[in-house]
Amino acid sequence: MRAVLGSYGGRHRAHQLLLEYSLSRGTTGQLAPFFAALVETLSTLGVTRPGGDKKLLTEADAFVLTHAIAGVLRGFVASAVGRVSTRNIETSLARLVVGFVEEA
């Protein structure tokens, strides 16, 4: 989470403008193949948990987790930068991921 949020590197306004432009032109679907690959990876190869065992997510859980993270990142860039701390967003997203991965 830290790496993704850190990739914005102080260029939040530029990212916000690019996101707004993409949304207005309907071009945000270019990430669809990446999201589909991530869903497939999470549901077929799983996630390694602390301790070394693998957790396979259901396809539905993998879809929800992938798109929840993407939605939060889009929302953060679009309207929350400067209003919500990056560290707090990172912590909340990490809790979301851990909740999916640690569930028995």
Tens-place pLDDT, residues 57-98? 999 999 999 989 888 887 877 776 677 888 888 899 989 998
pLDDT digits (tens, 9 = 90+) for 8-42: 555 556 656 665 656 566 555 667 888 899 999 99
Tokens 């306004």 locate to 13
Residue 87 half-sphere exposure toward CB, CA atoms < 13 A: 0
Positions of E strands within the chain = 47-48, 54-55
CA distances from 93 to 6, 22, 99 (A): 14, 24, 10
Distance CA 53, CA 10 (A): 37
Closest CA to 77 of 30, 29, 28: 28
How many domains does the chain fold into?
1
